[in-house]
Amino acid sequence: MMTSGNNTNSIISSDHLTVMEPKTGWQFIDFKELREYRDLFFFLVWRDIKVLYAQTILGFFWAVLQPLIQIVIYTIVFGKVARLDTEGIPYFLFSSVAIIPWTYMSVAMSQSSQSLVSGQSMLGKIYFPRVIYPVTPVLARLVDFSISLLILVFILFWYSIKPTWNLLYLPLFTLMMISIPIGIGLWLSAMAIRFRDVKHAMPFVVRMLIYTAPIVYSAARIPEKYRFFYSLNPIVGVIEGYRASLLGLDIPWLYIWPGMITIFLLVLSGTFYFKKMERIFVDVI
């Protein structure tokens, strides 16, 4: 349809007009929209995997080398020098089943917290569900985690640890392990848009977190009256769950259930905060 004067080209067909409005209430997560952008999501995850060790000599061997070096150092410092009690478990074995999941969580948290800042070049150019960004590095790092599990298989074989029915709980603890960096990543990635201090604080926070969970020491050293509050740290439940599942120990639900509640609240609140801040991402970044 043509019009004269200043009205030329002023009429736009409604068929080409898309109005996007923020979701409210319990509909703040549009799963249908996420499904529509699944190809982009898979592309971003695959991109992160491909560039993970691009132009490196050792390549994916770093996924084994990094946790292995930590295990050796902690075994020497805390097992041989400090001689921390590990409830009769050889320290090398004791630390291995904890450091593997911890390494995944620490790296995934750090990368997820900076995901929006790192991907700012795309934010202002095209529309897509922004929640994809903090989740992408969490899933991409699962490749590293899967490779590093080869260390655990070898160590468990070396110490003649036989599999038990506790392995059936391993998917639950893996889901908890993945959920922690997602929840923290949602919070910190949204905060990092406005406060670039997150980038500088994150390495320090990660170094401190390792001492808040039974990674280098046994949870049995925590006084019983403080154990409930201690177990509210979700990392505690993941570490204790992995240790029990892989070594055939009794599942310490006392440390796991409080952590599961914390994880649920962390992911839920992180999602609310992320969606609340989403409308200012492009303006602030």
**Mind listing the pLDDT tens digit of every residue in the chain (285 residues)?**
444 444 444 444 445 555 555 555 445 566 677 777 788 788 888 888 777 776 666 667 777 888 889 999 999 999 999 888 888 899 999 999 999 999 999 999 999 999 888 877 777 677 777 888 899 999 999 998 998 888 899 999 999 999 999 999 999 999 999 999 999 999 999 999 888 888 888 989 998 999 999 999 999 899 999 999 999 999 999 999 999 999 999 999 999 999 999 999 999 999 999 988 887 776 666
Single-letter residue type at 142: L
Is residue 21 in a domain? no
Is residue 254 in a domain? yes
Number of folded domains that form the chain: 1
Domain of residue 208: give its range: 31-49+58-284
Structure tokens at 179: 């959920």
Cβ atoms of 155 and 75 within 8 Å: the answer is no
Q: What is the pLDDT of residue 226?
A: 94
Give the CA dihedral 183, 188, 194, 200, nearest 10 degrees: -170
- Quote the pTM value: 0.86
Is residue 135 in a domain? yes
φ/ψ of residue 58, rounded to 5: -85, -20
φ/ψ of residue 134, rounded to 5: -70, -20
φ/ψ of residue 102, rounded to 5: -65, -40
Q: Hey, how many other C-beta atoms are within 10 angstroms of the C-beta on 108?
A: 27
CB contact set of 252 (below 8 Å; sequence gap of 6+): 219, 240, 241, 244
Is residue 7 in a domain? no
Is residue 3 in a domain? no
Is residue 275 in a domain? yes
Is residue 124 in a domain? yes
Distances (CA, A) of 42 to 47, 50, 129, 152: 8, 12, 13, 28
Q: What is the pLDDT of residue 19?
A: 52
Q: What is the pLDDT of residue 56?
A: 65
Q: What is the pLDDT of residue 270?
A: 94
Is residue 10 in a domain? no
